[in-house]
Amino acid sequence: MLFKISFKNIVKSIKDYLIYFFTLVLGVAIFYVFNSIDKQTVMMDVTKRTSEVIDLMTNMLSGCSVFVSIILGFLVIYASRFLIKRRNKEFGIYLTLGMSKRKISTILFLETLIIGVFSLFVGLVLGFVLSQFMSLLVANMFDANLTKFQFVFSKSACIKTLIYFGLIYFLVMIFNTINISKCKLIDLLHANKKSEKVKLKNPVICTIIFIISASVLSYAYYLVTGGVEDLQSAEQIYLPIILGLVSTFFIFWSLSGLLLKIFMNIKGVYYKGLNSFTLRQFSSKINTTVFSMTIICIMLFITICVLSSSLSIKNSMTANLDKLSPVDVQFSKVLSIDDDNQEIKSDFNLSVIETLEKNGFDTDKNLDDITPFSIYKSSDLTLGKFLGSRLEKVEKQFKYLKYGREESIVTISDYNKIAKLYGNKEYSLEDNEYLVIADFDSMITLRNEALKEGETITIGSRDYVPKYKKCQDGFIEISSNHINDGIIIVPDDAIIGARLEYKGLIANYKSTNKKDKIATDEKLRKVIESTWNKTSLTSMNSKLDIAEASIGLGALVTFIGLYLGIIFLISSAAILALKELSESSDNKERYKMLRKIGTDEKLINKTLFRQIAIFFMFPLVIAIIHSIFGIKFAAFILETFGRDKLLPSIIMTAIFIIVIYGGYFFITYFCSKNIIKENH
């Protein structure tokens, strides 16, 4: 009997359960998709190192799932509160007819169970379908061979999803039982007749608090943008975060009392159509949801920043790979090191090619475009001496830099050989000139100030002046990031006053076949690993290694960013939707009164649409403003990855917000419209 009542209640209240069901299905599907990645990658033909990266990624995603389940748990409990509130009168009638609270709790238990089982089934089916598309995304990201592609159902992800969501539903059942046990009959019967009064806050106090909050927030914005270079430690980053959180709360608090008063004084706007009704409804909501609006705003802010930054890292690293790693392999032999091992010291006299040949690697057979180079250093030329007259000012601003660090020096002929092979610009120098090549933005800014001043450098007994007033774009070390913070290029005879620090070599593999390149890479790695710190101090860095590392890091941040970002976005939108549906349910009598005074349905729907749109847009607009400065801060922190791909990432984030957040908005509007039309 109770099961029959529960099932009929669900069918009868399907419109009320739509948002709840939609959120559960999305949560289950996303949870399954991101926890089934390990099974999706089994069919991929990847290298051992890539496989290790994938294992690390799946372990981290598994850890994130615990955090995600907590968020979804709070969200489901919040949603169940709405459903109970929506049905207060129904429960009151049950009590009046003699039904015990235990039986009402049993009805809620069965309803939750039915919805839970159904949402789990639909969510798992949707997750299974989406996971196949995720397989293609993972394969594309890891450049994997998908010839073995087949539809894969992850039993482990399914079991994990059932366990986590089973626990969530169990907690909801306990919560519902406690809620029902505390209810009083008179409160249940008259719940929909309670009307919340709109209390107008003192506009003067609101204005003062708004100005102070906006000023504090502006200072927080400055700390993470213009003043970001003064943040010398992780602890100092907490200050703008705390200031941002507190000021956001008080901005919502002050605007909740200020906006209505402002529009009430603009008679032409306030009394036009149903604007007075819309604005008072909105002000009432903001008054009672200051804290929750603050939380939603912060969650949206985190969503925008996390999605934009993670997608930007992946896109930038992929784009950087060909540009910043234009050759297959690079070797570096350290020379200036104290060591009692005479075999290592004797190896210092050999070139990199001779070292490789000595240890059984045939360079003529395996390598092409062989280009040796040397890096020099001099105690006469440190970073501090390069900055010259600007050193004192820079030291105050950047306390963490090592100003006693000796600069890397490369001759113009060596650099031009490398530049030619890389496809970069070649240069010429007079006997007394030097130039700086760099691609790390922060250091470029510092060095450009010194170059504008025409700071001279000294190597040995000779002085050199800058040929250019700014750094030139370039690099020597292959990488997937912009890591060159400055290399001094000098005439060939300038090295007479410097010491040889490194012997380097760049080359391509003779074979263009990927499998042959991997085989050559493995041979070289065995040689390097077997000789390192034994008979030689030669190290290698290959394009294949860089590609696997960058792809792994890119995939890691992308999937974690997508996982957390989408969950945060769903949670924010769902909370707003449920709050709005609850308000629509509470305000049915008010809309009925509008109809009684002659307001047509079209105008009522238009008013409802505006009201919900304002409610959804208010936290989003402030979150977007926060995000402008948050993304600038993230770009500063992640500048080694480059900023060229930030705009496409922001566009992709905007698409996610439009689809998910906008989807919740329209579902909320149509559900609210049906709620206020009931019994009409």
Q: In whole angstroms, what is the distance from residue 566 CA to residue 573 CA?
A: 10
Higher local confidence (pLDDT), 298 or 151: 298
**Which of helix, strand or coil describes residue 417?**
helix
Higher local confidence (pLDDT), 636 or 500: 500
pTM above 0.95, yes or no: no
Q: What pLDDT digit, counting tens, does each position of 510-541 carry? A: 888 888 888 888 889 888 888 888 888 888 99
Quick check: 644 pLDDT over 70?
no
Can you state the angle between helices 290-324 and 543-586, rounded to 10 degrees?
Answer: 160
Q: In whole angstroms, what is the distance from residue 26 CA to residue 234 CA?
A: 36
198: left (phi over 0), alpha (psi -120 to 50) or beta: beta
| Two structure tokens written together for 506 | 């760049």
Query: Is residue 680 very low, low, confident or very high in pLDDT (cuts 50, 70, 90)?
Result: very low
Q: In whole angstroms, what is the distance from residue 95 CA to residue 465 CA?
A: 92
Query: Is residue 490 very low, low, confident or very high in pLDDT (cuts 50, 70, 90)?
Result: very high
Quick check: 374 pLDDT over 80?
yes
Q: How many CB atoms lie within 10 A of CB 516?
A: 13
pLDDT at res. 191? 54
- Beta strand 433-438 pairing with 472-473: parallel
Query: 424-461: string of b/e by CB count within 10 Å (b at 16+)?
Result: beebebeeebbbbbbbbbbbbebbbbbbeeebebebee
Q: What is the mean pLDDT of residues 436-450?
A: 88
R_g over Cα of the chain: 32
Q: In whole angstroms, what is the distance from residue 463 CA to residue 466 CA?
A: 10
Higher local confidence (pLDDT), 311 or 95: 311
Question: Cβ contacts of residue 309 below 8 Å, gap of 6+?
Answer: 557, 561, 631, 634, 638, 649
Higher local confidence (pLDDT), 367 or 579: 367
Assess contact for 503 and 536: CB atoms under 8 A.
Answer: no
Find, among 7, 3, 43, the residue nearest to 144 by Cα. Answer: 43
99-108, 533-542, 549-558, range with greatest mean pLDDT: 533-542
Lowest mean pLDDT among 170-184, 347-361, 397-411, 512-526: 170-184
Lowest mean pLDDT among 217-221, 235-239, 481-485: 235-239
pLDDT at res. 518? 85
**Which of helix, strand or coil describes residue 499?**
strand
Find, among 221, 646, 639, 232, the residue nearest to 444 by Cα. Answer: 639
Question: DSSP letters of 44-97?
Answer: SB--HHHHHHHHHHHHHHHHHHHHHHHHHHHHHHHHHHHHHHHTHHHHHHHHHT
Q: In whole angstroms, what is the distance from residue 114 CA to residue 120 CA?
A: 10
Q: In whole angstroms, what is the distance from residue 212 CA to residue 198 CA?
A: 25
Q: What is the mean pLDDT of residues 242-246?
A: 90
Q: What is the mean pLDDT of residues 59-83?
A: 77
Quick check: 185 pLDDT over 60?
no
Quick check: 196 pLDDT over 80?
no
Q: What is the mean pLDDT of residues 293-316?
A: 84
Identify the burial level of 8 via C-beta atoms within 10 angstroms of its C-beta, where 0-12 means exposed, 13-18 middle and 19 or more buried: exposed
- Beta strand 367-377 pairing with 433-438: unpaired
Assess contact for 487 and 444: CB atoms under 8 A.
Answer: no
Assess contact for 33 and 155: CB atoms under 8 A.
Answer: no
Q: In whole angstroms, what is the distance from residue 451 CA to residue 459 CA?
A: 17
pLDDT at res. 73? 80
Average pLDDT over the chain reads 79
Q: What is the mean pLDDT of residues 220-241?
A: 73
Q: 491 φ, ψ to 5°?
A: -60, 155
Query: Is residue 65 very low, low, confident or very high in pLDDT (cuts 50, 70, 90)?
Result: confident
Quick check: 649 pLDDT over 90?
no
Q: In whole angstroms, what is the distance from residue 408 CA to residue 27 CA?
A: 53
Q: In whole angstroms, what is the distance from residue 455 CA to residue 578 CA?
A: 64
Cα separations (Å) of 6 from 11, 25, 71, 83? 9, 20, 27, 13
Let me know how long the chain is: 680
Question: Cβ contacts of residue 219 below 8 Å, gap of 6+?
Answer: 243
Report which secondary-structure segment, H or E, holds 508. strand 499-509
Query: Is residue 410 very low, low, confident or very high in pLDDT (cuts 50, 70, 90)?
Result: very high
pLDDT at res. 176? 72
Identify the burial level of 368 via C-beta atoms within 10 angstroms of its C-beta, where 0-12 means exposed, 13-18 middle and 19 or more buried: middle
Find, among 110, 101, 123, the residue nearest to 24 by Cα. Answer: 123
486: left (phi over 0), alpha (psi -120 to 50) or beta: left
246-255, 272-281, 422-431, range with greatest mean pLDDT: 422-431
Q: In whole angstroms, what is the distance from residue 388 CA to residue 302 CA?
A: 42
- 532 forms beta bridges with 536
Cα separations (Å) of 53 from 130, 518, 562? 22, 17, 18
Q: Which residue has the tokens 């989807």?
A: 663
Quick check: 11 pLDDT over 70?
no
Quick check: 470 pLDDT over 80?
yes
Higher local confidence (pLDDT), 272 or 164: 164
pLDDT at res. 14? 64
Quick check: 375 pLDDT over 60?
yes
**Which of helix, strand or coil describes residue 632?**
helix
Cα separations (Å) of 382 from 397, 405, 463, 530? 18, 5, 14, 35
pLDDT at res. 85? 67
pLDDT at res. 43? 47
| Two structure tokens written together for 29 | 């599907």
Quick check: 16 pLDDT over 90?
no
pLDDT at res. 7? 61
59-68, 92-101, 211-220, range with greatest mean pLDDT: 211-220
pLDDT at res. 309? 81
Q: 472 φ, ψ to 5°?
A: -100, 145
Position 470, amino acid: K
Q: What pLDDT digit, counting tens, does each position of 114-129 carry? A: 777 888 888 888 888 8
Report which secondary-structure segment, H or E, holds 517. helix 514-531
pLDDT at res. 581? 77
Quick check: 229 pLDDT over 80?
no
Q: In whole angstroms, what is the distance from residue 211 CA to residue 301 CA?
A: 22
Report which secondary-structure segment, H or E, holds 284. helix 275-288
Quick check: 371 pLDDT over 90?
yes
Lowest mean pLDDT among 83-87, 326-330, 382-386, 644-648: 83-87
CA 610 from chain centre, in angstroms, equals 31
Share of the chain above pLDDT 70, in %: 77
DSSP label of 680:
-
Query: Is residue 436 very low, low, confident or very high in pLDDT (cuts 50, 70, 90)?
Result: very high
Quick check: 10 pLDDT over 70?
no
Query: Is residue 267 very low, low, confident or very high in pLDDT (cuts 50, 70, 90)?
Result: low
Find, among 302, 286, 292, 194, the residue nearest to 244 by Cα. Answer: 302
Share of the chain above pLDDT 90, in %: 13
pLDDT at res. 466? 93
Question: Cβ contacts of residue 101 below 8 Å, gap of 6+?
Answer: 95, 180, 181, 183
